[in-house]
Structure 1
């Protein structure tokens, strides 16, 4: 693979008329997208942004996401993608914590921020509509000096992720100062070799939210390989099959929830679409039930690749042919990655025994503004995100818990501590515990277990159904929609261990769907 030919801007120079994006059936060539990237990049620099400054993007899947991501990567900036379901307070926190100098938001999302009266960056640009105090996104593009930057320099994504503390932190990698095309080509070539992707005339389907790290990165990798990206605003199984057939999609990235929704379609819908063009289907984000994966392989053939990793780095790979003999594992360490399973004293545990998974990363990183969190996740040159697992006798990794308290619903991380902090703000809640329980559609669903506070002296006490409704309204107001508990269970006292820690495992074990009230 000739890496000197890879990289989005190199492709734009050698194959300018090749289709780069398909969005809502409208096509954008590599030449046209590259021109917009340079205009946006120069416009951001003209605002006074310097190398290493931060741009926040509150935009859904579409052309603007790629313009901003590729401009940041070419003009030495950090791009912070923000979840479009975030509440105004959550957007404010990410902007303030990251030090974002610019916020670009879709107009309807920006309106929510204006209504929430939150502190935002001075430079704000609205996409697709007018907002008081915001400039049109078109103004972000500097049209006065056409052409590439005098000295392209690699920028980076700075995704936000979190642990069980619930407060997200930016995963910040140092800027290299290198040529961005070289950096992009190296990344694209490495992933292409890993997953059997061919540069040139490929087609990638982006059907997961690009503000999540993996879907956003792999969609950009597709462009760096010279592939066309067919971009969906949201996951719709019917539209996914239609476009796989129509555009002859060669690869995509999904989560197990997407697999379930595709498999739930009527047989006629699945057999009526030609999916034979698919060569690689990547999946990650949550454990995939064996029956679901077996059904996908039976339908699509041996093209389904699983990998395990985190925003912090890739850990392991499970190729299609190995899943057949090692179902239930997440594969062996990725090439060049060291993976160890350690006990609480930092010693390797024997095969078959559970410990904390530690792994090496190719590029060092820090959790922005949190030296304690950064240091806590380091050991002998390796890092951990707190996941537990074990190696089998042949070196395949088996996951046991995706962090002790983490809930993964539809492939999205939900941090219980954040939801609990919201719930205990209600005067009828003495304590709260949020757990994930199995769900056939989403993998897990969020359940809140509430320890009631005594009724206020004045006024009648509300019943459990009424209190559940009040708590749901509170969470809807303060949190992103996917974090709002689907069900509420009320107890007189939450179970705790002898040392006073909340017994989440006990709660999961005793949870009974019929005991929950106020289901959404």
Structure 2
């Protein structure tokens, strides 16, 4: 085709979620953007605050692609950083607030962050982490303390505890952006915008790098997947350090919605109060939030069904059906997301209603279950196992300073999740297990997720995890680790062990029934995921006969 085409600033701009805030300030300028206790900001005010801090970062010497780290709960400041840091051309890394100081120190050493913003509640662990940094490897970042929004001081923190040169976020907000300050838009829409660390369920957390383009598109995908309407009211119960809050900081801005923040965002009492007071429509998080809501409702005579439907999107292993039913009766509409940090959060969302089908992220070009050796799609027969794979514009750029780790996941032109699944005749993808967790016993494939689902229906079981234990004859056999509910013997006993195995035997084929049961607390990582690699080591270090309880 000849001439007549031109790409210029009139018809092309690099995609970036920065534009969502700029639009919100113009179209929904006076509408509420942030509600945090007695604090209210409009979209016009939020836009100005982000400009102010972006300008401050530039004055402090932040250059393009410098890393700005933050460790804070879901508060307005962390929300603002999702816009102000990329406005300064920098890369945001929101860190897990549950990290201990040695782990935090290792991550900061890899990040080489120029600045770290710290909520006052987490100052001590950050100071301990900074002390562990090796000055030969990494220059300590400039520390900016985040007090409460309405306070200029550090809310009880002694100022002389801070490293020399430390600054105060609220003070920097008090200085207006330079008159000639210009937003540093990405030169290329595939430039990095953020780094998110994986949960480390394998014991090896990695820094996953997102691009402006991917987060822009994924924000739009999240809107479609969650069926969000204009100006939604969003309650922040999903941590923003998890995949940038599944891109909802940018999605809510795109729709001119209202962000409701609770510092204690896992308090059922505060959640119910916020829903009633602010007319919340959407909230997200890990499945534990369903347990929290159901437990609180069962203990309180004052909890009544919601005045209107509230949509909850959770990602992770679902609780037992009775919990889901109890939450649904309260008026919550629950959906279950499947995804990972590398896919910017949930890529497949399935409503917890049998009549509704799964929704794939509109921006994910390819969602498939493939034979990992031949790369052929498995038949839609509900029995042939394959690996879930993705391909599209809403995947990570790569792993920070770890190009070797990219080779295997992207082999064959698809992102290999490492999760095994089957595909049903209607297209529904049913995850069976992580490839590394699947147990092959006597030639039979055992899904640990299926065994765990049965264990969780036992009336005395609170938490459960299943791993493979080496066996001279069968190769591996399933070993169950169980935490009992309150009121039951925390250490378990042989009769309880046998009863649980009998219970499983009534619901599962004989080869899937656990051959041993361990009682006690389950090892969790900083994001609350069970560390199965720890359990595998433990199971294989202990020698025990079949049907005999393993002792700690």
How far 1:258 sits from its partner (Å)? 0.9
Match of 1:396 in 2: 428
Instruction: Quote the Cα distance in structure 2 between the aligned partners of 1:171 and 1:127.
Output: 25
Aligned: 1:98 with 2:111: yes
Match of 1:334 among 340, 361, 373: 361
Instruction: Quote the Cα distance in structure 2 between the aligned partners of 1:316 and 1:325.
Output: 16
Instruction: Quote the Cα distance in structure 2 between the aligned partners of 1:341 and 1:257.
Output: 28
**Structure 1 stretch displaced more, 33-42 or 160-169:** 160-169
DSSP-derived class of the 2:93 partner: strand
Match of 2:240 in 1: 210
Instruction: Quote the Cα distance in structure 2 between the aligned partners of 1:332 and 1:439.
Output: 34
How far 1:229 sits from its partner (Å)? 0.9
Match of 2:459 in 1: none
**Structure 1 stretch displaced more, 59-68 or 376-385:** 376-385
Q: 1:139 to 1:122 in 2, by over 3 A?
A: farther
Match of 2:312 among 267, 270, 281: 281
Aligned residues: 437
Instruction: Quote the Cα distance in structure 2 between the aligned partners of 1:436 and 1:39.
Output: 54
Match of 1:362 among 393, 400, 408: 393
Q: 1:287 to 1:383 in 2, by over 3 A?
A: farther
Give the ranges of 4+ consecutive aligned residues of structure 1 lying more than 6 Å apart after TM superposition: 3-6, 406-409, 483-493
Aligned: 1:121 with 2:153: no
Per-residue Cα deviation, 1:375-430 (whole angstroms, up to 9, x for no partner): 11013321123122111222111111245359999xxxxxx9xxxxxxxxxxxxxx
How far 1:53 sits from its partner (Å)? 1.5
DSSP-derived class of the 1:345 partner: coil
Match of 2:407 in 1: 375
Aligned-residue RMSD, C-alpha = 4.2
Per-residue Cα deviation, 1:184-204 (whole angstroms, up to 9, x for no partner): 5x554433233221112x211
Q: 1:401 to 1:163 in 2, by over 3 A?
A: farther
Instruction: Quote the Cα distance in structure 1 between the aligned partners of 2:548 and 2:123.
Output: 39
How far 1:213 sits from its partner (Å)? 1.8
Instruction: Quote the Cα distance in structure 1 between the aligned partners of 2:200 and 2:361.
Output: 23
TM-score, normalising length from structure 2?
A: 0.68
Per-residue Cα deviation, 1:414-465 (whole angstroms, up to 9, x for no partner): xx9xxxxxxxxxxxxxxxxxx9846688xxxxx9xxxxxxxxxxxxxxxxxx
How far 1:485 sits from its partner (Å)? 8.5
Per-residue Cα deviation, 1:135-165 (whole angstroms, up to 9, x for no partner): 2234544825446842441562221116665
Instruction: Quote the Cα distance in structure 2 between the aligned partners of 1:398 and 1:492.
Output: 28
Match of 1:503 in 2: none
**Structure 1 stretch displaced more, 284-293 or 481-490:** 481-490
Unaligned runs of 5+ in 2: 1-15, 134-138, 148-153, 187-191, 439-447, 453-465, 467-478, 486-490, 492-519
Unaligned runs of 5+ in 1: 410-415, 417-434, 442-446, 448-468, 497-505
Match of 2:296 in 1: 265
Q: 1:6 to 1:277 in 2, by over 3 A?
A: farther
Match of 1:290 in 2: 321
Match of 1:421 in 2: none
DSSP-derived class of the 1:265 partner: helix
How far 1:71 sits from its partner (Å)? 0.7
Match of 2:198 in 1: 161
Aligned: 1:197 with 2:210: no
Counterpart contact for 2:239–2:285, Cα < 8 Å: no
Counterpart contact for 1:248–1:278, Cα < 8 Å: no
**Structure 1 stretch displaced more, 91-100 or 332-341:** 332-341
Q: 1:214 to 1:146 in 2, by over 3 A?
A: closer
Instruction: Quote the Cα distance in structure 2 between the aligned partners of 1:254 and 1:291.
Output: 19
Counterpart contact for 1:312–1:361, Cα < 8 Å: no
Q: 1:17 to 1:90 in 2, by over 3 A?
A: same
Q: 1:483 to 1:260 in 2, by over 3 A?
A: closer
**Structure 1 stretch displaced more, 121-130 or 63-72:** 121-130
DSSP-derived class of the 1:307 partner: strand
DSSP-derived class of the 1:35 partner: helix
Match of 1:31 among 16, 21, 44: 44
Counterpart contact for 2:208–2:399, Cα < 8 Å: yes
Match of 1:494 in 2: 541
Instruction: Quote the Cα distance in structure 1 between the aligned partners of 2:436 and 2:17.
Output: 44
Match of 1:70 in 2: 83
Counterpart contact for 2:53–2:84, Cα < 8 Å: yes
Q: Which has the larger radius of gyration?
A: 2
TM-score, normalising length from structure 1?
A: 0.72
**Structure 1 stretch displaced more, 252-261 or 167-176:** 167-176
Aligned: 1:309 with 2:323: no
Match of 1:241 in 2: 272
DSSP-derived class of the 1:197 partner: coil
Match of 1:109 in 2: 122
Counterpart contact for 2:70–2:117, Cα < 8 Å: yes
Instruction: Quote the Cα distance in structure 1 between the aligned partners of 2:119 and 2:71.
Output: 7
Match of 1:227 in 2: 257
Instruction: Quote the Cα distance in structure 2 between the aligned partners of 1:219 and 1:370.
Output: 27
